[in-house]
Amino acid sequence: MDISIFGLGYVGTVCGVCLANNGHNIIGIDVSDHKINLINQGLPPIVEAGLASLISDVVSNKKFTASKDHEQAVLNSEISIVCVGTPSRVDGSLDTRYLEEVCQQIGNALKLKNNYHLVVIRSTVLPGTVMGQLLPILEEFSGKKVGEDFGLAMNPEFLRESTAIEDFYEPEMTVIGEYDQRSGDILESIYEGIDSPVIRNTIEVAEMIKYTCNVWHATKVAFGNEIGTIAKNVGVDGREVMKIVCEDKKLNISSYYMRPGFAFGGSCLPKDVRALNHLSRQKGIKTPLINNLMHSNEMHVDNGFRMITGLGKKKIGFLGISFKAGTDDLRESPLVELVERLYGKGYDLKIYDKNVDYARLHGANKEYIEHVIPHVANLLDQDIDSVIDHSDVIILGNASKEFEAVLEKANGSKKVVDLVGFMNDPSCENRLGICW
């Protein structure tokens, strides 16, 4: 396939060379005469393991050429991949001027072209940028319509410096955010032969995935450093600690806790976060990431409270208040905190939780329920249908299987707030998700 690549920096050069090595014809576009001259001599403009020999091969085979002529590049290609930089401004916001300039250039060239053309944004951009900023530019300067005259897609890259070629050929996933199926089909075809799952979704999801991955990586580095600092100050080798922590692939290095939902609670996590924070303060160590975990958790309870009270209804039914499905443990349950806030504001509450109801009469939590939260215990109802019928707003509090059918059961006059993730769709007027 004939492909033009705009921006011959790190990402554009590696992607262009690898696609050329796979048999595609690549026209690379850049404003730098120095980069263009180096590439056309078969020399790499960046230092990257394995790149020098590959670029020499694809240039000598005439599979990769570099130029400044953006118009001819678009007219002589079927796909344009945009890889220009998106640097930070002083205030931390994203500078998209180079992207906008390139989209103007592509749009002007598309005006002269009769054939369908796919525009792929590979630069890192915040959610809403492609559809809200770049698409209007492409349509305005081309005088053409997306989905009819040209396609549009987002294709975030996950290339690490020093292993970029390996990462291109052996990715954990290939993410395609597509305007429509035709755009996604064409983009997927250029990755044929690369053995990785192809994930196709909306453009906005693809934009967000790149930021989520990078911020998660930054979080892991900061977390490891803070644990290492605390460990060193108590005479422990933090490298050994984190090495052993990473041996647990069921919980520690896994997807188990990696989904949006409500705040954490229970007898372990809040207590242990506070204890480690106290230790770091005793030692005079600054650990801002760990120190803010409880604050972040409390803000999530605040979000839930505002969501519920913002509905303007007084009759509230909770389905599940233990911090986790399949348990009667109410200790530091964020759901109990939510109930107590609403109760204190005079809301008419009913609660259904068969495990907690059992614990009120039996179980290890009987004393806690009777002496610490008796007012909450008095709101318990053994009949789930009675709670649903009574309530104008139904809160899905934990992931008990018996609550799965409630979204269908509650008629249209009732609002449902899902704190768990039972909803398959994003929030709408009567169905609200805490993070979706």
- What digits encode the pLDDT tens for the residues 162-187? 999 999 999 999 999 999 999 999 99
Which residue's structure tokens are 């598309």? 110
Q: What ranges make up the beta strands (E) of 189-248? A: 198-201
> Does residue 268 have an active-site annotation?
yes
pLDDT for 358 equals 62
φ, ψ dihedrals at 368, nearest 5°: -60, -45
Task: State how beta strands 174-178 and 150-154 pair.
Answer: antiparallel
Mean pLDDT (whole number) for 53-80: 98
With beta carbons less than 8 A apart as the criterion, state whether 119 and 137 touch.
Answer: no
In the chain, % of residues over pLDDT 90: 85
Question: In 10 A of CB 270, how many CB atoms?
Answer: 20
Q: What is the DSSP letter of 149?
A: T
Alpha carbon distances (Å) from 93 to 87, 97, 189, 222, 331: 9, 12, 34, 22, 41
**Pairing state of beta strands 174-178 and 431-433?**
unpaired
Task: With CA atoms as reference, report the closest residue to 394 among 379, 416, 410, 412.
Answer: 416
Q: Report yes or no: 357 and 295 within 8 Å, Cβ to Cβ.
A: no
Across the range 13-22, mean pLDDT stands at 98
CA distance 380 to 335: 14
Catalytic pick among 213, 268, 428, 435: 268
| Dihedral (CA of 336, 341, 342, 344) sign | positive
Q: Write out the two tokens for 53.
A: 């020999």
**pLDDT range class, residue 283, cuts 50, 70, 90:** very high
Residue 359 pLDDT > 60: no
Question: What pLDDT band is residue 330 in, cutting at 50, 70 and 90?
Answer: confident
Q: Residues 144-148: contacts with CB within 8 Å, 24+ apart?
A: 144/110, 144/111, 146/179, 147/179, 147/180, 147/182
User: pLDDT averaged over the chain?
Assistant: 93
